[in-house]
Structure 1
Amino acid sequence: MTESIAKVRKAVIPAAGFGTRMFPASKVVKKELFPIIDKDGRAKPIIQIIVEEAISGGIEEVGIVVQKSDIPVFTDYFQALPSYYQKLSAEKQEYCQYLQNLGSKITLLTQSEQAGYGHAVFCAKEWVGDEPFLLLLGDHIYASDVEKTCASQILQVYEQANQSLIGVRIIPGTEIHHYGCISGNLVADGLIDIDTIYEKPDLNYAREKLHVSGMKEDEFLGVFGMYVLTTKIFDYLEENIKQNAREKGEFQLTSCLDKLQRLEGMTGYLMKGRCFDTGMPDVYRQTMIDFRND
């Protein structure tokens, strides 16, 4: 008899960074609250678009990891009515109710110190419990090329793979030093049996160690910014934190993903869609253009 697969009910979004790459605007506005104009012409904060992406895949609860001092900012956005509520049109009042409904699915988790992406993920351990969870970057937004949203795609593939999963995309060698990458064997239907996960390799290393058979020369599989992970990842993150095993001064996720892959196996999935970075001025500007027109 086939073992039943635990439904993925929770998503984690780390959003506790200082946003120094978006300085000076990030002095007064959290970078996760910077606006993006969606296809309907509505100005939404980045974090809302990410939460909606998670919910679109059937996620029931979303944990956003924030700095303690930023709790009122996120609470006000998702739960409080604006002081000028009565002056809004009926349509906008209805949208305020929609935001409150969205907020009812959100739990704000805190990161006591900004010690890296892996540390931020670890801060969700108690809230996640013993369930597999969807992990989304706090500064990436997503657009699907097919009817199913990107979150729906990766959650459906997880049910088939029944092991931790990393969404990937094809990136040129000229960009590989900006991203986490994987290598492995192409299986079928965009699935990759992962054998290596590596953070921001240089091109020579990637050519030697990370090229995937069947792909074009100097094309590689870069991380899409969307994962489904088992809770074993928290054990490796905790081990690094206890041993103060930092990489470039911070606790990273990638080395722990590689350990998880070696223990449990891990599948890559070539996403049918695009991810858009919002974490730096130039790419944020381009995302403002591309996301609405995608």
Structure 2
Amino acid sequence: MTQFFNKITDLFIPGRLCLFGEHSDWAAEYRQVNPRIAPGYAVVVGTNQGIYARVKVDDQLIFKTVNNSQVFKLAMTEAKLLSMAQTGNFYSYIAGVAYQAKVHYQVGGLKIDNYLMDLPLKKGLSSSAAICVLVARAFNQLYKLGLAIAEEMELAYQGERTTASQCGRLDQACAYGNQPILMTFEGNSQTVKPLMVGRDLYLVIVDLAGSKDTRKILSQLHQCYPVAQSPWQAQVQNYLGNINQNLVQQAVKAIEAGDAVEIGNLMSQAQGEFDRYLIPACPSELNAPRLHQLLDHPPLQPYIYGGKGVGSQGDGTAQIITPNSDTQAKAIEIIEQDFPSMKCYPLNIANTNSD
């Protein structure tokens, strides 16, 4: 037992980048009350940046992070965990997952030392979901729960939904790491299909150094469901349903072929369709002048194939795809020179072909 308690496990959980299909996860949940709504589809991949931690078994729930000198400690009782989860602060995510693990698996506590975090926070890269997956995986590995990745994702999802978060189901896809996956959403269920990658892909994630109100975006878009009350609400449902499905199906083929040119074309097409159909639902947030200034920046065009917004969209984060590592570096140089407040993060997706 002493050896069990003293074992230290190293974990790394990346952020999550939705390459295609943002918002389609929660939209498809409305199929439960309106079956005419189309299923949701998304292509998701883990970022190269993430959350690093050393974890071990403990009697309490203890969380230490590089972002705060305070060490969080909480007794592993269902009442205390649930109470903390509903506070809405950073530690609510940790307590929410611990609460679900306690209820469903009767686990003890954890000591988590988050000694490094290079994942940008609140930038549409699912930093909160990464924390939840980290806690779920720690419980799974240290208490030998035998959970598959999809089950870890479900534990993390239920933990995050125990808080005030209204996250969709694609956020926890960071559990799959740097493996691109196709996610399909049907009502309250999901399926996951890992994707092969035909060639190395070179992307750049760009923190636009802008501002957006994610809650307002989601609130306005949710008003379009479950039954559209106006033509523009019907357009939102059409984009997040049939149009998105077609774009994602084409993107899957391009990724498996390693066709960066086509991926770039599809990103630009997706952004154009998003602007056409979704901006009317929340123009104050989705007009996104900084995003479009970046995507249309003339000096950048020779070095990229295309790009689009990330997450809920707005002026939070962008993604662009480049031909190779040299053009990736050049694109980063141009962005950081011409837009000094913006910050770039390379994302390399490796070829999975065995030959």
TM > 0.5 = no
Structure with higher RCO (Cα < 8 A, 6+ apart)? 1
TM-score range normalised by the length of the shorter chain: under 0.3
Query: More helix per residue: 1 or 2?
Result: 2
